[in-house]
């Protein structure tokens, strides 16, 4: 059963976290500070600031182990909800391989933002699959998913909304490229960059101050001049997903670096296999929506992972299950309105 398989996955994640995490990774992010329950008691700040939201949850949980159980449940529910009606998916080798990537196992398990990110994205994906299967969509799950993603990783709403625009753009058909949706997204992107050009340049040039320069895997900033956030995007996307360039691997020559690079290659192969055009025959709308979603997830992830391989592994773990579930299931979801088809047949 799907519950048992996901539960086993989460338990193995706990083993990685507490057994192998200290060996493979330098730290487990901010979990140690989160479990202290440093809640300030400000309700407004709690509802609008992700760190205080976590501190509130750890405060009311009453202890680090109860808190750990709560966040493990968050990630469990986030994996279960989109697949609750598609139990066979969890047995697919590609899906299982992605869920058992060590960094995905470990970083989505501890007390932290990634576990809540998995929950929020899982709720949204479950609502999408319900919509595509013509099942009732839970308003509670939809609102909770939007709220959690907005609170913890608001940048992830950008690829999701962009994918929806492409999929729902006027005149889009399953055999045609949704040109209007693509044009609309390109227009808004250019407009956004032109309006906020100064602010974007300042943000990226000063971005490295948010990272600890003493971390072993931290590299120098790749944004030094105006426009570098665009010019360095291809390199930044590679670094934020793969972790290192081949030259950095040879120069540093560390086992953990090779380990992370190896699992990045595995993830890349999984995503490439799922994006094989042969899987998306007669699904032009879905295929181009998937391209937009995948590309934009990589783009919004790139500033947070380009300067530190550890951060790259940590932050990408929150959206990897979403991408894998979506890319695996979307090509095989129905293109016909089942309820309408049954109604037509019944009235013949």
Q: Which of 207, 197, 208, 253 is nearest to 230 (CA)?
A: 197
| pLDDT value at residue 341 | 42
Q: How far is CA 139 from the centre of its chain?
A: 22
| 343, pLDDT greater than 60 | no
| pLDDT value at residue 345 | 42
| 31, pLDDT greater than 60 | yes
Yes or no: say if 312 and 211 are a contact pair by the CB < 8 Å rule. Answer: no
Q: Which of 49-58, 86-95, 171-180, 262-271 has the lowest mean pLDDT?
A: 171-180
pTM above 0.85, yes or no: yes
Task: Write the CA distances from 322 to 89, 124, 290, 304, integer angstroms.
Answer: 13, 9, 12, 18
- CB 12: neighbour CB atoms within 10 A? 17
Cβ within 8 Å of residue 225, ≥6 positions away: 205
| pLDDT value at residue 338 | 43
| pLDDT value at residue 347 | 39
Q: Which of 72-81, 110-119, 174-183, 333-342 has the lowest mean pLDDT?
A: 333-342
| pLDDT value at residue 21 | 61
pLDDT digits (tens, 9 = 90+) for 46-76: 899 988 898 888 888 877 788 889 999 999 9
| pLDDT value at residue 210 | 65
Q: Which of 80-84, 269-273, 279-283, 332-336 has the lowest mean pLDDT?
A: 332-336
Q: What is the rounded CA–CA span in Å between residue 125 and residue 48?
A: 23
Kindly report the CA angle at 77 between 70 and 269, in degrees rounded to 5?
Answer: 115
Q: What is the rounded CA–CA span in Å between residue 35 and residue 61?
A: 9
């Amino acid at each position: 059963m799907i519950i048992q398989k996901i539960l086993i996955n989460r338990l193995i994640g706990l083993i990685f976290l507490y057994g192998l995490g200290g060996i493979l990774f330098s730290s487990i992010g901010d979990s140690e500070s989160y479990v202290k329950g440093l809640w300030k008691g400000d309700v407004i700040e709690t509802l609008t600031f992700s760190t205080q939201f976590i501190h509130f949850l750890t405060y009311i949980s009453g202890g680090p182990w109860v808190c750990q159980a709560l966040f493990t449940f968050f990630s469990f529910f986030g994996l279960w909800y989109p697949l609750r009606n598609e139990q066979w998916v969890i047995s697919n080798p590609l899906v299982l391989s992605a869920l058992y990537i060590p960094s995905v196992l470990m970083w989505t398990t501890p007390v932290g933002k990634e576990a809540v990110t998995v929950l929020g994205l899982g709720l949204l994906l479950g609502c999408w699959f319900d919509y595509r299967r013509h099942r009732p969509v839970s308003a509670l799950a939809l609102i909770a998913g939007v709220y959690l993603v907005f609170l913890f990783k608001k940048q992830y709403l950008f690829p999701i909304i962009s994918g929806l625009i492409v999929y729902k753009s006027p005149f889009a058909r399953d055999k045609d490229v949704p040109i209007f949706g693509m044009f609309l997204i390109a227009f808004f992107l250019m407009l956004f960059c032109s309006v906020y050009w100064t602010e974007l340049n300042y943000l990226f040039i000063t971005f490295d101050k948010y990272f600890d320069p003493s971390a072993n895997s931290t590299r120098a900033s790749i944004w030094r001049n105006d426009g570098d956030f665009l010019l360095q995007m291809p390199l930044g996307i590679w670094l934020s997903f793969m972790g290192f360039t081949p030259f950095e691997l040879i120069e540093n020559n560390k086992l953990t670096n090779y380990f992370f690079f190896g699992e990045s290659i595995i993830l890349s192969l999984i995503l490439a296999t799922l994006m094989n055009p042969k899987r998306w025959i007669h699904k032009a709308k879905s295929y181009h929506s998937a391209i937009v979603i995948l590309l934009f997830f990589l783009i919004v992830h790139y500033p947070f992972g380009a300067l530190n391989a550890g951060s790259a592994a940590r932050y990408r773990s929150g959206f990897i299950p979403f991408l894998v579930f979506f890319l695996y299931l979307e090509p095989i979801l129905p293109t016909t309105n089942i309820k309408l088809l049954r109604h037509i047949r019944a009235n013949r």
